Amino acid sequence: MTLENYQAQLAQNLPQTDLPWLADLRQGAADRFASIGLPDRKVEAWRYTNLKPIQARLFEVGPFEADTFQADRVRAGDTTPALLSDSHRMVFSDGLLIAGAQDLPDGVSLKGMAQVLAEDPEILTDHKQGIGAIRDLPLPTLNRALSRDGYVLVLEPGVIVAQAIEILFQSSTGAAYPRNLILAGAGAQVSVVEHYLGTSEDDYLVNGVTEVHAATGAHIKRYKIQRDGPGASHIATLAGQLEADARFENFDLNLGAKLARSEIHMALQGHGADASLNGVYLLRDKQHCDNAILMDHVVGATNSHQDYRGILDDKAHGVFQGKITVQPDAQGIEGHQLNKTLLLSDTAEIDSKPELEIRADDVKCSHGATAGELDEAGLFYLRSRGIPEAEARQLLMAAFIVETLGHIDDEAIRDVMDGLVTDWMAS
Amino acid sequence: MTNMLEIKDLHAEVGGTEILKGLSLTIGEGEVHAIMGPNGAGKSTLSYVLSGRDGYEVTSGSITYRGQDLFELAIEERAAAGIFLGFQYPVELPGVSSTTFLKTALNAVLRQRGEDELDAVQFMKRLRVHTKSLNISDDMLRRGVNVGFSGGEKKRNEILQMALLEPYLAVLDETDSGLDIDALKVVADGVNALRGPTRSMLVITHYQRLLDYIVPDFVHVLAHGRIARTGGKELALELEEKGYGEFADAPHGSEAA
């Protein structure tokens, strides 16, 4: 199946086909994708990542079941795995909502995208086109054409959500195009965990988009835990816009998938906005993980921080492309970026490309990238104290990323991440 | 009395260069031996061969430790069997907290010795006994292993590890290097507190000074990869006076590293 018969075979699989603006939006996206196609490696942003493996699966979008969003009915018998013992949970399976969140506090709305389109599409009025920075990019464009569902989280001003929101995206086959939206009103606070989990070894595709709008003084923490299946391709695009004094903390833990790409476009649009984007990638076998970040200091007195660290074994391939842009007159900004990779084998590879584009003069920016092996002297020291080699290696690996994990300030979530990281190191 | 350690005609290479050239040494239970010698004589090589470090290749000879062939044991097994190496340059491990390191090491050793591991409370109790006498602050324990430690703090931290792991044979490599006299006394007191009838020590040093505080039963001069002379503690004083001049000429014209 290809885009040529989009209307005939693909569009009808989507929810709310009778909304004219939506049908137009999708068709426009489909047309655009048909003309631009997938980026190849001549495109600088995709220089290190080959998308050929996803080509065959792009259009395997299953049918939309109209009653999917009345999914609370399956809540009682829900046996999907939860990472947090105490959270508001929502579950998607192969791109469709199967279990909705319950008992949400006042001022919080968390629904499936399909449900929002059916029940109150006006929520989306200002967000139909999506954030400009990613609107015309090939993969978000394809997502706009093919997305069946996703989550929409709306926080009214001043709402502080005490429990974290945990959203499970489990996948086993085909192609899923989750489209997620977080709208945080002024001063609202929330922690969201997006957990991508593979339940098969199939070469399925996830191509998701998450958009974040943080109004003045809002504080959003978003954690992505990527544990897609060993044959899967996981493509994710995150775009955020932060107004004055808004804070956004993002943490990407990349463990799964054969091919992973996590692209982030963050715009610091109001004075005092602050973004902290951090991540850990742990790869082995022939896994490929590409983190690409574009941090845009649009106005002055904004801060950003990036700390990405990875451990690569076997023939794994890591990529880090991080760019900090400081727009003209965005004075008094601070932007820092760090990428460190530990290579456990001679055949593992990291391509690290930090970039600064500064068009203002009163700025404090830094970037750094290192790649190295496990410290032989440290390993000997630990073993000379009786610590078996495997355990000593784990201690040194854990030490390598402990600072990055330290950026997670929700204790329960950090414990979950610690546990997953420890499991990876021990296996 | 059984022997703690018997080294017989040991030859060892580093990077293809022979450093130890027929070294023989026997250490009895409870004895403290000092090995002195000029720079490059092979003192550190001996300590690394004893602890099993990669890159130190034994080409011939034998080492028997408490009746066991030492070469059959991996690095961590030697530690569990009771060999402790106090490093000349303790390694910094950023990101590994000192407390985690000490607890992991102690429990690894206890496990390999077939003893019960300690839980957090039991461990802290045992740790406190030693940190107090070695003047090791809580702040040091919270930091990464040896990270930001002064020279004296690093050496005290080595002695702390030795006290916790309760070895049978402690090899102290240039424990005095980089220490002022006050720091040296604290370290020496820590070492002396661990002397006992079942614990032997091999104290490696360039200077006699340390041996004023850790008084050895025997002193050996290591030169050109072998024991050139053995005596009592008075030999150290003689070396202090005369220097290593008489051991300076390489018998085969080879350079030891």
Indicate yes or no: CB of B104 within 8 angstroms of CB of A387: yes
Indicate yes or no: CB of B96 within 8 angstroms of CB of A399: yes
- Looking up tokens 């409870």 gives B30
Q: What is the pLDDT of residue B254?
A: 45
ipTM value, please give it. 0.95
Q: What is the pLDDT of residue A79?
A: 77
Q: Is the pLDDT of residue A378 over 60?
A: yes
Indicate yes or no: CB of A382 within 8 angstroms of CB of B105: yes
3-state secondary structure chain B: CCEEEEEEEEEEEECCEEEEEEEEEEEECCCEEEEECCCCCCHHHHHHHHHCCCCEEEEEEEEEECCEEHHHCCHHHHHHCCEEEECCCCCCEEEEEHHHHHHHHHHHHHHHCCCCCCCHHHHHHHHHHHHHHCCCCHHHHHCEECCCCCHHHHHHHHHHHHHHHCCCEEEEECCCCCCCHHHHHHHHHHHHHCCECCEEEEEEECCCHHHHHCCCCEEEEEECCEEEEEECCHHHHHHHHHCCHHHCCCCCCCCCC
Q: Is the pLDDT of residue B20 over 60?
A: yes
Q: Could you tell me if A169 and A141 are in contact, meaning their C-beta atoms sit under 8 angstroms apart?
A: no
Give the residue among A293, A291, A295, A292 at the shortest CA–CA distance from A274. A295
Q: Could you tell me if B77 and B88 are in contact, meaning their C-beta atoms sit under 8 angstroms apart?
A: no
Q: Which residues of A touch B (CB under 8 A)?
A: 375-378, 380-389, 391-392, 395-396, 398-400, 402-403
Q: Which whole number is the average pLDDT over A154-175?
A: 97
Residue of chain B whose alpha carbon sits nearest to that of A399: B95
Buried b / exposed e over B80-92, threshold 16 CB at 10 Å, is: bbbbbbbbbebbb
Residues B201-212 pLDDT 10s: 999 998 888 999
Give the residue among B161, B174, B228 at the shortest CA–CA distance from B202. B174
Q: What is the pLDDT of residue B241?
A: 86
Residue of chain B whose alpha carbon sits nearest to that of A386: B76
Q: What is the pLDDT of residue B15?
A: 94
Q: Is the pLDDT of residue A166 over 70?
A: yes
* Per-residue pLDDT band at A163 (split at 50, 70, 90): very high
Please give the Cα distance from A199 to A81 (Å, whole number).
11
* Per-residue pLDDT band at B1 (split at 50, 70, 90): low
Given CA atoms B90, B96, B99, B104 in this order, what sign does their dihedral have?
negative
Indicate yes or no: CB of A391 within 8 angstroms of CB of B85: no
Residues A83-122 pLDDT 10s: 999 899 999 999 999 888 888 999 999 999 999 999 999 9
Indicate yes or no: CB of B85 within 8 angstroms of CB of A384: yes
Residues A222-256 pLDDT 10s: 999 999 999 999 999 999 999 999 999 999 999 99
Exposed (0-12), middle (13-18) or buried (19+): which is B249, by Cβ within 10 Å? Answer: exposed
Residues B127-143 pLDDT 10s: 999 998 888 999 999 99
Q: Which whole number is the average pLDDT over A315-322?
A: 97
- Mean residue pLDDT of chain A comes to 94
Whether the CB of B200 is below 8 Å from some CB of chain A: the reply is no
* Per-residue pLDDT band at B255 (split at 50, 70, 90): very low
3-state secondary structure A290-353: EEEEEEEECCCCCEEEEEEEEEECCCCEEEEEEEEEECCCCCCEEEEEEEEEEECCCCCEEEEE
What CATH number belongs to B3-247? 3.40.50.300
Q: Which whole number is the average pLDDT over B13-37?
A: 96
Q: Which residues of B touch A381 (CB under 8 A)?
A: 87, 90-91, 93
Nearest CB to A380 within list B75, B144, B161:
B75
Q: Is the pLDDT of residue A361 over 80?
A: yes
Q: What is the pLDDT of residue A67?
A: 65
Report the gap between the CA of A382 and the closest CA in chain B (Å).
8
Specify the DSSP class assigned to residue A130.
-
* Per-residue pLDDT band at A173 (split at 50, 70, 90): very high
Q: What is the pLDDT of residue A70?
A: 63
Q: Is the pLDDT of residue B122 over 60?
A: yes
Residues A191-232 pLDDT 10s: 999 999 999 999 999 999 999 999 999 999 999 999 999 999
Q: What is the pLDDT of residue B253?
A: 43
Tell me the DSSP string of A366-422: EEEEEEE---HHHHHHHHTTT--HHHHHHHHHHHHHHHHHTT---HHHHHHHHHHHH
Q: What is the pLDDT of residue A341?
A: 98
Residue B87 one-letter amino acid = F
Q: Could you tell me if A187 and A217 are in contact, meaning their C-beta atoms sit under 8 angstroms apart?
A: yes
Q: Which whole number is the average pLDDT over B66-75?
A: 97
Indicate yes or no: CB of A385 within 8 angstroms of CB of B74: no
Q: Which whole number is the average pLDDT over A156-184?
A: 97
Q: What is the pLDDT of residue A66?
A: 67
CB atoms within 10 A of CB B251: 11
Residue A216 one-letter amino acid = T
- Looking up tokens 């660290």 gives A309
Identify the bridge partners of residue B199 per DSSP, sorted by sequence position: B196
Whether the CB of B85 is below 8 Å from some CB of chain A: the reply is yes
Please give the Cα distance from A232 to A57 (Å, whole number).
10
Please give the Cα distance from B230 to B222 (Å, whole number).
9
Indicate yes or no: CB of A398 within 8 angstroms of CB of B51: no
